[in-house]
């Protein structure tokens, strides 16, 4: 009934627009710049998805003044990254006022989210050299990909796995930087294709001794972050192709006050992830294609609160199998049918041993009743041991009103189950759990949400696109942590390793929350002269959270009320210059510490700007690079307790060879 209530007025308006649009010339070509969105499961062009989608081509990644993929996402419109450190140390990704656990990350359509915690969502097992494009789809995606896609999803499409046609070529390149605080940064890789064989690989390494932290006990924000990846694909026959990937991610960093605000926190964390992925694709004919994918991962997390405390050690295994069949029934009807099954497992010295199976079957239909109207409907039957069986629908529409204007709308349902940390954290931790720690709750219910949105895309000039979107999401059973005395937590959980006189934060289904907001974006790509190109985007997001009851949310307290992100680059054969920045203003929440925690503050608002300059020594081949992170040395924290780095300068060379 809720779907009907939301959808009826929304989609009636689209049919009204459609009747007006029929008076325009019968030109089926859309004037707005279009790219294929593989994450739609129908390989639709962006203007037909009915969603607010951003697509970042892999060839433009070097234009951004960043040194990691999560730092790049930070500069994109209508996407918030809550970081605990630069260069890929750790970052929580949120969309439309979601928690960091409510965003799904995909690699070639396969889930990346770690079963232990959403804090590891930014640990991408991929290097920039392999990326074809990055797709950011805002709004619910559970009907397509299952749980966790509440605020939206990010799909990284790679050159070897994508169903694209590229000419035979060889590309080899890299950026090598050195900087302050013993920084060494390497981003290098290759891609080659010849006679049906594709190969790609790369390394992404960032290490530094770090800046001095203004925290009790001192310490430095040092890190060693290493990602290695190799993938290949082969066209076995005219109809059959196969692809495979192996990647390895290793991270070792100072995690002081990443998760607590205690003055005694001296934490260090070491993580790893081994990712193995395979794919078979069979093209029956020009109108039918079948794909089968398999992913197996093993990841570890070793967290030591102080040098003398007992370390938390976790081993996670994840197995995911997915199949889908795409059909083009006519020029007006496309259909994708598929199924997916996965197993999440953890073995931990403070959470125990647990395993959960999950299955889903989905159907996605794309309809184009007229040249200018596109409708997409998706339905998923989902079953999880944690929340039972759920039916998850989604409906979107896109209407081209004129050559320059497209309107769009979407409505959908989403779900999220508690991860292992929220259910079992500290449950079997040796000794007595220190005061201030989070405590898991195995009796948590799944979060359930309904979302709807409406927006428009307007292209007044060939080099300028303007976008606006209003969104509204209602969610219940939101999982968060609330402070309670040790005796209360013992009574609720029955745990015997707690101190009755201490204070803990217990995971609970706390409240319902309504999230409303507005997203605005301006994007330009202009050829100023035959040799000079301007690229840029500017985004503004306003988010209002209406929380039921007198509850202070630990998760939602970090969400920005107002967020401005932007980046601009000038590219010439002999030089390029890029600037990117973030302005964040938080909603009214606690920004100062209590007497029992350290001196860190959750910065009410801040501005951070990065800059980069490339000067060609050999045009199109060798450049000298200078880069500055946090150019104006802003002092800020995204998350209470986690102090972000100040200004960080670096320089080096960039190479690019093509054949």
User: Which pLDDT belongs to residue 264?
Assistant: 85
Q: pLDDT tens across 240-265, in order?
A: 999 999 999 999 999 988 887 778 88
Is residue 648 very low, low, confident or very high in pLDDT (cuts 50, 70, 90)? very high
Q: pLDDT tens across 131-151, in order?
A: 999 999 999 999 999 999 999
| Mean pLDDT score, 336-342 | 97
User: Which pLDDT belongs to residue 62?
Assistant: 80
**Hunting for tokens 């990841």 — which residue is that?**
299
Is residue 435 very low, low, confident or very high in pLDDT (cuts 50, 70, 90)? confident
CA 332, CA 310: separation in Å to the nearest integer? 61
CA 577, CA 580: separation in Å to the nearest integer? 10
For residue 385, CA distances in Å to 280, 338, 356, 477 come to 29, 20, 6, 17
**Hunting for tokens 């972050």 — which residue is that?**
225
**pLDDT of 15 higher than 50:** no
Is residue 9 very low, low, confident or very high in pLDDT (cuts 50, 70, 90)? very low
Are 579 and 610 contacting, i.e. CB atoms less than 8 angstroms apart? Answer: yes
Are 243 and 231 contacting, i.e. CB atoms less than 8 angstroms apart? Answer: yes
User: Which pLDDT belongs to residue 323?
Assistant: 98
Are 82 and 91 contacting, i.e. CB atoms less than 8 angstroms apart? Answer: yes
User: Which pLDDT belongs to residue 32?
Assistant: 46
Are 373 and 423 contacting, i.e. CB atoms less than 8 angstroms apart? Answer: no
What single DSSP character describes residue 343? E
DSSP string, 478-538: EEEEEEEEHHHHHHHH--SSS-TTSEEEEEEEEEEEEEEEEEEEEEEEEEEETTEEEEEEE
User: Which pLDDT belongs to residue 93?
Assistant: 92
Least confident of 2-11, 108-117, 308-317: 2-11
Whole-number percent of the chain with pLDDT over 70: 92
Is residue 452 very low, low, confident or very high in pLDDT (cuts 50, 70, 90)? very high
Tokens representing residue 78 in the block = 């209508």
More confident residue, 555 or 39: 39
Q: pLDDT tens across 370-409, in order?
A: 999 999 999 999 999 888 999 999 999 999 999 999 999 9
**pLDDT of 102 higher than 60:** yes
The predicted model scores a pTM of 0.91
**pLDDT of 597 higher than 70:** no
Rg (CA), the chain: 24
Are 427 and 440 contacting, i.e. CB atoms less than 8 angstroms apart? Answer: yes
3-state helix, strand, coil in the chain (%, to 5): 10, 55, 35
Chain mean position to CA 111 = 11
| Mean pLDDT score, 617-632 | 95
Q: Strand, helix or coil at 116?
A: coil
Are 657 and 617 contacting, i.e. CB atoms less than 8 angstroms apart? Answer: no
b/e burial code for range 533-546 (CB count within 10 A of at least 16 → b): bebbbbbbbbbebe
**For every residue of 349-377, which 3-state class applies, written as one string?**
CCCEEEEEEEEEEEEEEEECCCCCEEEEE
Q: Shortest CA distance to 360 belongs to which of 411, 318, 415, 410?
A: 415
Residue 473's DSSP bridge partners are: 451, 515
**C-beta neighbour count of 500 within 10 angstroms:** 11
Is residue 21 very low, low, confident or very high in pLDDT (cuts 50, 70, 90)? very low
Q: Shortest CA distance to 469 belongs to which of 43, 58, 152, 1?
A: 152
Q: Strand, helix or coil at 632?
A: coil
Tokens representing residue 206 in the block = 């960032």
**Hunting for tokens 């499961």 — which residue is that?**
41
């Amino acid at each position: 009934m809720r779907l009907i209530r939301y959808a009826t007025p929304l989609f009636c308006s689209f049919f009204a627009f459609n009747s007006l649009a029929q008076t325009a010339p019968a030109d089926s070509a859309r004037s707005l710049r279009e790219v294929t969105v593989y994450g739609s499961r129908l390989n639709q062009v962006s203007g037909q998805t009915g969603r607010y989608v951003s697509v970042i081509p892999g060839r433009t990644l070097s234009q951004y003044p960043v040194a990691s993929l999560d730092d790049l996402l930070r500069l994109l419109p209508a996407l918030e990254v809550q970081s605990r450190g630069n260069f890929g140390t750790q970052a929580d990704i949120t969309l439309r006022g979601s928690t960091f656990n409510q965003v799904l990350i995909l690699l070639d359509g396969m889930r990346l989210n770690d079963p232990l915690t959403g804090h590891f969502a930014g640990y991408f097992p991929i290097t920039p050299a392999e990326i074809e494009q990055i797709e950011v789809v805002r709004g619910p995606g559970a009907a397509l990909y299952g749980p966790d896609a509440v605020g939206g999803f990010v799909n990284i499409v790679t050159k070897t796995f994508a169903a694209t046609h590229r000419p035979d070529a060889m590309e080899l390149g890299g950026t090598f930087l050195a900087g302050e605080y013993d920084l060494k940064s390497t981003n290098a890789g290759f891609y080659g294709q010849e006679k049906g064989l594709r190969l790609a690989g790369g390394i992404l390494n960032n290490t530094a001794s770090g800046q001095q932290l203004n925290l009790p006990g001192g310490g430095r924000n040092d890190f060693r972050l290493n990602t290695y990846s190799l993938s290949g694909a082969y066209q076995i026959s005219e109809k059959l192709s196969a692809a495979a990937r192996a990647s390895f991610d290793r991270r070792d960093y100072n995690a002081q006050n990443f998760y607590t605000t205690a003055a005694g926190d001296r934490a260090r964390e070491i993580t790893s992830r081994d990712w193995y992925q395979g794919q078979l694709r069979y093209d029956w004919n020009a109108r039918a294609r079948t794909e089968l994918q398999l992913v197996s991962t093993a990841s570890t997390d070793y967290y030591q609160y102080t040098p003398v405390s007992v370390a938390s050690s976790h081993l996670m295994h994840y197995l995911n199998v997915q199949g889908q069949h795409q059909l083009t029934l006519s020029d007006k009807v496309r259909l994708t049918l598929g199924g997916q099954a996965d197993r999440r497992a953890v073995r931990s010295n403070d959470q125990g041993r647990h395993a959960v199976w999950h299955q889903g079957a989905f159907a996605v239909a794309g309809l184009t009743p007229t040249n200018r109207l596109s409708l997409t409907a998706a339905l998923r039957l989902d079953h999880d041991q944690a929340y039972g069986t759920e039916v998850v629908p989604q409906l979107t529409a896109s209407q081209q009103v004129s050559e320059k204007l497209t309107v769009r709308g979407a409505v959908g349902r989403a779900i999220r189950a508690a991860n292992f940390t929220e259910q079992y954290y500290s449950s079997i931790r040796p000794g007595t759990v220190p005061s201030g720690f989070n405590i898991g709750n195995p009796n948590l219910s799944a979060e359930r949400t309904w979302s709807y949105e409406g927006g428009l895309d307007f292209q007044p000039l060939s080099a300028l696109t303007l976008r606006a979107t209003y969104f509204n999401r209602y969610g219940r059973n939101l999982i968060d942590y609330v402070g309670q005395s040790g005796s209360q937590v013992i009574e609720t959980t029955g745990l015997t390793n707690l101190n009755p006189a201490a204070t803990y934060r217990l995971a609970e289904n706390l409240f319902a929350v309504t999230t409303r907001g507005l997203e605005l974006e301006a994007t330009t790509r202009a050829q100023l002269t035959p040799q000079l190109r301007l690229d840029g985007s500017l985004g503004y997001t306003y988010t209002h959270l209406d929380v039921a009851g007198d509850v202070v949310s630990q998760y939602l307290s970090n969400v920005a009320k107002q967020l401005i992100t932007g980046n601009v680059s000038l590219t010439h054969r002999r030089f390029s210059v890029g600037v990117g920045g973030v302005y964040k203003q938080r909603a009214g929440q606690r920004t100062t510490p209590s007497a029992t925690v350290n001196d860190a503050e959750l910065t009410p608002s801040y501005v951070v700007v990065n800059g980069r300059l490339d000067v060609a020594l050999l045009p199109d081949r060798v450049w000298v690079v200078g880069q500055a992170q946090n150019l104006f040395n802003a002092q800020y924290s995204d998350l209470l307790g986690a102090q972000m780095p100040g200004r960080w300068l670096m320089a080096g060379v960039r190479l690019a060879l093509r054949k």
